[in-house]
Amino acid sequence: MHSASPCTIDLGSRDRDAALIHRDADLVAVAVRLADPGHGEHVGRWHLEAYFPAPGARFPLFDSLDGVVDHLCRVDAARRPVDARNEASEFVPELSSPARA
């Protein structure tokens, strides 16, 4: 079960509203609401700043925090071990379908 805990973050910009996203007790992601005018038409949308199971993974922008959480539920459900012989092996998320909520 995924949940989001609102918080603030210091990124050195106006992007301060954020959320820590947990899967059960594990922190899996940090989402940030874009507020800096430099983001143009994307101001107000949510960006996944970090997704810890797959560092560097790219995600679409989301219209709501609920959209972020729903997308991560689907991504985590689709994760599969690269090497089934090693439970601690790297995981590959299925990230290809952008979600807007």
Tell me the pLDDT tens digit for each residue of 69-93: 999 999 988 875 554 444 443 444 4
Can you read off the two tokens belonging to residue 68? 């972020």
Can you read off the two tokens belonging to residue 90? 């790297």
Residue type, 29: A
Span 48-59, pLDDT tens digits: 999 999 998 999
- The count of residues in the chain is 101
Cα gap 40→27, rounded to integer Å: 30
pTM of the model: 0.76
Helix (H) or strand (E) segment spanning residue 78: helix 65-78
What would the mean pLDDT of 65-70 be, rounded to a whole number? 96
| Dihedral sign from CA coordinates of 2, 93, 96, 30 | positive
Residue 10's pLDDT is what? Answer: 95
The rounded mean pLDDT for the chain is 84
Cα gap 63→50, rounded to integer Å: 17
Can you read off the two tokens belonging to residue 6? 């609102």
